Amino acid sequence: MRYALALVCLGLYGQTVAELERELTAQRRLLNDWAGLTRYGSDNAEIKSPPAVVFLGDEITEKWEPFFEGKPYLNRGLARQSSAQMLLRFRQDVISLKPKLVIIQAGTNDIAGTAGPTTEAMSAENFMSMVELAKANGIRVILASVTPVWETQKRRPAGKIIGLNGWLKSYAAKVGATYLDYYSALASGRVLRKEFTNDGLVPNAAGYAAMAPLAEAAIAEAMAKP
């Protein structure tokens, strides 16, 4: 009974053994390297010339395939990461690489609480800190929307996604950053379109194909700003 209650509190009740094992592996990784600094540390050391763009994000970014082949873009996505974790690795995975521009894509795991409970105000502060760090180092900023999910993703209510996206759009306008609206292109009503995903969270090939030209257009817009 206590075990079942604990699973309910964690939002894990009803998951399969395989899903629970993946959750346990993820929690162990959090204990060993909460910010994920080891994921790209050695890769960064081998980079010879600055990239034009760094994509900083969670699983939506990390699992992007194919990822802009032939473009001077770097993928620095890390599955299950929150905005707080990205903030901690921002210097290593963005500033130290000296890109012209960073696309910050975060929020879905803030809402889900994968790295601990996070309010919208806490998320906002993390985004603001990353933007301020980027600007202080001469890096242009694109803020990407949180992508929609299926209703089966109980830990990510549609209302909270829409609310955070509203703040991101408003804040981007306030500070002169570019807002990248993936949400509108991927959503049908308030949920992720079935043809754009296989699991209700991460886009599939068709989903990424719809996102890629939006990212390219946002990059062009951001680069054209004075």
Per-residue pLDDT of 98-130, as tens digits, reads 999 999 999 999 999 999 999 999 999 999 999
* Cα 110 from Cα 82, distance rounded (Å): 5
pLDDT of residue 28: 57
Peptide bond into 72 cis (omega under 30): no
Domain that holds residue 9: 1-32
Global pTM reads: 0.87
pLDDT of residue 9: 53
pLDDT of residue 226: 86
CB atoms within 10 A of CB 185: 16
Residue 37 lies in a domain: no
* Domain count of the fold of the chain: 2
Residue 5 sits in the same domain as residue 101: no
Residue 8 sits in the same domain as residue 120: no
Residue 38 lies in a domain: no
Residue 91 lies in a domain: yes
Residue 110 sits in the same domain as residue 181: yes
Q: Which residues of the chain have pLDDT under 50?
A: 8
State whether the Cα torsion 184-196-200-120 is positive or negative.
Answer: negative
pLDDT of residue 23: 61
Which residues are CB-neighbours of 131 under 8 A, at least 6 positions away? 104, 141, 143, 171, 175, 177
